[in-house]
Amino acid sequence: MTRGAVDQSSTAASPAPQPPGIGIGRPPWWALVLAALVTVAVTVDLLSRGWLERMDLRVSEVVSDWDLRNSDAYWPVWVFTQAGGRGFILIVLAGLVGWLAIRRRTLVPLVRVAMALVLLTTVVYSFKWGTGRTAPAYPGSFFHRDGASYPSGHVANAVLMWGVARWQVVQFSLPAPVQRAVWLLSIVGPLVTGVAMVALDFHWVTDAVVGLAVGLLLLGVVHALDAVTVSRWVRARAGRTQP
């Protein structure tokens, strides 16, 4: 084989270049430590009826005066909450998982998504039922056995599931526009979800903040579990181009 043929073969076998600045999005250790500290500090303050609860009440009073729920702005704002809606995200992930299963012959993304869903459901609902915090519109006490507002499942869902989606599209080298789109969703999705949920008075500010922190922690856990289980099991046939 000639030198030119060898060079051409090597070029054809090499993966497409990644868009600059876009990685798989594994949270660094310091971000996970900060997220854990925020979760603990906010939870302790709320359960002790501290200043964060008073801040939540003041914000909710302002939002209630806007009355977006009963205005023409309701549906346009509600659409942004779906950036963290489980149904919408799962539709996107189902398409992604199915495409990779067919084209790359790997079930790795499916296993990762399933692992993330189990962790999300278990941890978030344990928090909700454990604290029993009621939503802003609930009349009476703010910690009640029927409460399930804290933390925001929509925000946690947006952080974790868009983070998992970003991981897959980068690691399996999907086209650059797809990588950029999912990267943007992984950054902006949780933020617009949290703002929209608070603006509609569906959640307190601290619900959204801790939802973001819990989602980040769970994303770190999924990455760690994958490193010691899934990745080792399928390393030779995962069809990916990133470590």
Strand, helix or coil at 150?
Answer: coil
Whether 24 contacts 166, CB under 8 Å = yes
In the Cβ-directed half-sphere of 230, how many Cα atoms lie within 13 Å?
A: 19
β-partners of residue 135 are none
Cα separation values, 166 from 17, 24, 115, 173, 214, Å: 16, 6, 16, 11, 18
Instruction: Give pTM, 2 decimals.
Output: 0.88
Give Cβ neighbours of residue 98 (< 8 Å, ≥ 6 apart). none
pLDDT for the residue numbered 175? 94
pLDDT digits (tens, 9 = 90+) for 166-213: 999 999 999 999 999 999 999 999 999 999 999 999 999 999 999 999
Higher pLDDT, 123 or 230: 123
